[in-house]
Amino acid sequence: MCHGGQGVVQWSREWSRKLTSFATNIREGGGWGQYLAGSRMQGAKGDRMRGQGFPPEVIMRGTMMDFPLVLPVLLERAGKLFPKVEILSRKPDKSVVHANYGLFYRRARQLGEVLNGLGLRRGDRVASLMWNHAAHLEAFFGVSCAGGILHTLNPRLHPHEIAAIANHAGDRFLIIDDTLLPLLEKFRRDVHFERVIVVPYCGAAAPAESLNYEDVLASAKGEFPYPEMEETAGGRGAAAGSAGERSGTAGVSSTKVCEMAIAGRVCVRRGDSPDERGQVQKDRAAATVCKLEVGGVETV
């Protein structure tokens, strides 16, 4: 019993020395950031880290969950595995529009293709001034999967605040519901959108110089290769205005993927077994408001 106790003490002291030495190596090597970078270094860089005293077993690249969390992955999964899952939208006249992930998949890709054809470059901002419906979900994925950043403008803000936020973000394009065109007219002269794409949500007349959303999608040729994307690529969303006109928030691609996986909007499981939120594929979840911060949008 006594021998066993001494063995534990000796083992504890030995590991204490190892941990102390390990912490010293990290501190002298530039801190945790340098250590984590060194754990992925190969070749000459790895040799330098070894020379600084890092244990050989940590000079390696971890491969667990080595997969980029980018939105095209969710778009492909939704369109190919769950094409018949419904997306329901309600119009102001109380009528319900039925769509599904298969249609959403095709239309989101069409939007991305046409935007690239209109000159959208990687990192360009596309503003959306829309309510909570299927077309906004298409824009969320179409813009992001084309390499752009969807900038969700809050229609509840004052017109001059919306204009200031759009100008500060450098929005090049605007996708807007026809029901919100009167709001756009209140600040149209204060913004510099190159293209305005109008979603015929309720059939209201659109300005002559604008593009019709449905015509835009119809012009796609079905040739839309995804650009190379990193999960650290960001999206930008307007804040609620409480912190000033130019306040904003940013969310990276991986965050959006995780949010949607948790929300169960796209990544639903097959079969009837409940997922993490107690939902199953055949359930319907109603999103009551748009998520206007961090470039997010939730649609049934």
pLDDT tens, residue by residue, 207-254: 889 999 999 999 999 999 998 887 766 554 444 454 555 555 555 555
pLDDT at residue 202, as a whole number: 86
**What's the mean pLDDT in 55-62?**
53
Backbone angles phi, psi at 194, to 5 degrees: -75, -35
Structure tokens at 257: 């993927």
Parallel/antiparallel/unpaired status of strands 234-238 and 248-252: antiparallel
Q: Residue holding tokens 């190919």?
A: 80
Beta bridge partners of 197: 175, 211
Q: Taking the model in full, what pTM does it have?
A: 0.68
61 confidence band (pLDDT: 50, 70, 90) = low
Identity of the amino acid at 263 = A
Structure tokens at 198: 């109008």
39 confidence band (pLDDT: 50, 70, 90) = very low
SS3 state of residue 81: helix
For domain 71-263, the CATH architecture is: 3-Layer(aba) Sandwich (3.40)
**What's the mean pLDDT in 257-265?**
53
Kindly state the DSSP code that residue 59 receives in the 8-state scheme: S
